[in-house]
Amino acid sequence: MTPGQIALRALIVGFILSFAVITGFAYTTLMERKFLARLQHRIGPNRAGYIPFPRRGGKERKLLAGFLQPAADAVKLFFKEDPTPAKVDKPVYNLAPMLAVIPAILILAVIPWAPEINIFGAVFAPYFAIAPNIEVGVLFILAVTSIGVYGIVLAGWASNSKYAILGGIRASAQMISYELALGMSVLIPIMLANSMDLGVIVNAQRGGWYVLLQPIAAIVFCIGVLAELQRAPFDLLEAEQELSAGFNVEYAGMRFGMFFMAEYMKMISLSAIAAVFFFGGYLGPFVDQLPALGFVYMLLKIALGLFIMIWIRATLPRLRYDQLMSFGWKGLLPIAVLNFLITATFIVMYEEGVLQPIFDSLKRFFIG
């Protein structure tokens, strides 16, 4: 293929995946509201879009109750008044929501969704992705996710409000603190697969998912993702009781909606990254015979990640800010660094053959 054909294919695939994730964001909000209502014994969205279905006793049954609630919320945001405070820094004020949304979409570029597959005559090899075979795919993800910090910090600073600035300061401290532990946990699958190409990391898990080999790294990664997303119990940036909604208090209408959209799109993107790093990505039963099953396995693993995030939000109370920072620096980061050092030591010892006599002895002991 020529470079022009490769670029055109990437644009088409990128548009399709971006549209799917934007639609998924809308229904992730509905999924969260439904699950939270069920877990907290209350009624969630149950009006917009339901289909009346008659049943015995004269009462109608409501099928797909609340199915169109995301569409109703989108219409409301589009037509809601969107005032701009008088003394804001307008260029930065308008740019900040874009800096929050764009990284959530860019993350999708290097995520492998299926093995080598033929779709309508077009062969996607060695795996299906917007930009496959990126040797520094993990670095790309870390760089792009770091840009999201600027969107939140600049939103607080440009709003010219002390409450928004406090939210922005909390954002910079929290996200940078937990990104250190997150980055250390990401190094584990890189070392185990000996590559930063996400497709290679997935294929390296054919013998076993990394969550089974490195559960500590997987747990640290998932905690870091919650802090990166400002999800409960790490949602100190939007602590309404303390900060009057935090960094986005001066935003309304679709500019507020972009921050809201960025959070849920990042939930989907980071769930996909967790699936790739620790849960085998698109791998699953019969995926080599039916490559299209890779999409199904990825969607199932992403849905599981979203459900766990929602479950944690419904269950755990919010931390105090001093508890949050203490846990990040004194608890999570030392565990991540120690796990990294131990893993690196064992990998080097294995490659040098130091551990081979031990393996042979264990084999003779158990097998005879």
Domain ranges of the chain: 3-44+80-367
Residue 128, pLDDT score: 93
Residue 113, pLDDT score: 95
Q: Which helix (H) or strand (E) holds 183?
A: helix 162-193
Residues 200, 193: contact at Cβ < 8 Å? yes
Residue 202, pLDDT score: 96
Q: Which helix (H) or strand (E) holds 8?
A: helix 3-39
* pLDDT over 90 percentage in the chain: 43
φ/ψ of 125, rounded to 5, equals -135, 150
CA-to-CA dists, residue 240 to 54, 210, 247, 356, angstroms: 43, 38, 11, 57
DSSP 12-24: HHHHHHHHHHHHH
126 preceded by a cis bond (ω within 30 of 0)? yes
Helix axes 3-39, 293-315, angle to 10 degrees: 40
In this prediction the pTM is 0.91
Q: pLDDT by residue (tens digit) across 190-205?
A: 999 999 999 999 999 9
Residue 64, pLDDT score: 79
Name the band, by pLDDT with cuts 50, 70 and 90, for residue 37.
very high
Average pLDDT over residues 38-50: 85
